[in-house]
Amino acid sequence: QSAGGIARALAGDVLTADEATTALAGFAASGASARAVIETLAGAAGGWFRADVGKLALLHGDGAAVELADMGAGEEHGRGRRDIAAADTAPRALTLAYYEPGRDYQAGVQRAMRPGAGVREARMELAAAIDAASAKTIAEAALMRLDMERERRTVALPWGSLEVRPGERVTIAGAPGTWRVERWRLENMVVLLECV
């Protein structure tokens, strides 16, 4: 079963999710709330949420993206900004706890490390049955995402761009790659999108 399919089953008709997310041999849904469990599944799949009409969509990876041309490039007050946080603000190591079917479902741990500065560590608890190689891949991908998210851009758009919402995939003119809108605000009839 895919992480997205499990999340959709837990959320009922308020969530849509792509079936192409990380495959899990099994999953134990427990926690303080369905939201916490679904957020854990999204983290394992490298996903995030976007508000759609009456639902949330669990997105991950590349896909259709809205093209943006920043009208505020070079301006002050946060418009057209590019920020990269120091390397030590991202975890240098990530530990993933999971259950390994090949070892009679005993608890397993996989650790991913990145080179460079920093001493911070992150831990992901995933009550899922996965093999060691898949667990290592999930841990490495999660650590890489945390490191990549140090780079942020603030894009200024005309007020007519109100339909671009948090969670949307976007491409930014002059910036390589696909970005995700993390925050949205309207100031003086200008839409400001904070993207990672």
With CA atoms as reference, report the closest residue to 79 among 196, 191, 189.
Answer: 191
With CA atoms as reference, report the closest residue to 142 among 17, 41, 64, 35.
Answer: 41
> Which strands form 15-17's sheet, in the order they lie side by side?
15-17, 55-60, 47-52
Quick one: the chain helix, strand, coil %, rounded to 5? 25, 40, 35
- pLDDT digits 0-9 by tens, 66-110: 998 877 654 554 456 888 898 888 999 999 999 999 999 999 999
Q: How many Å apart are CA 89 and CA 169, to the nearest integer?
A: 24
Q: Which residues make Cβ contacts (< 8 Å) with residue 81, sequence separation at least 6?
A: 153, 154
Longest dimension (CA), the chain: 60
Say what the pTM is.
Answer: 0.81
With CA atoms as reference, report the closest residue to 28 among 1, 56, 59, 55.
Answer: 1
Could you report the average pLDDT of every consecutive run of 10 residues in the chain (196 residues)? 87 80 84 85 89 88 86 56 87 95 93 90 93 94 93 90 91 90 90 93
pLDDT at 25: 87
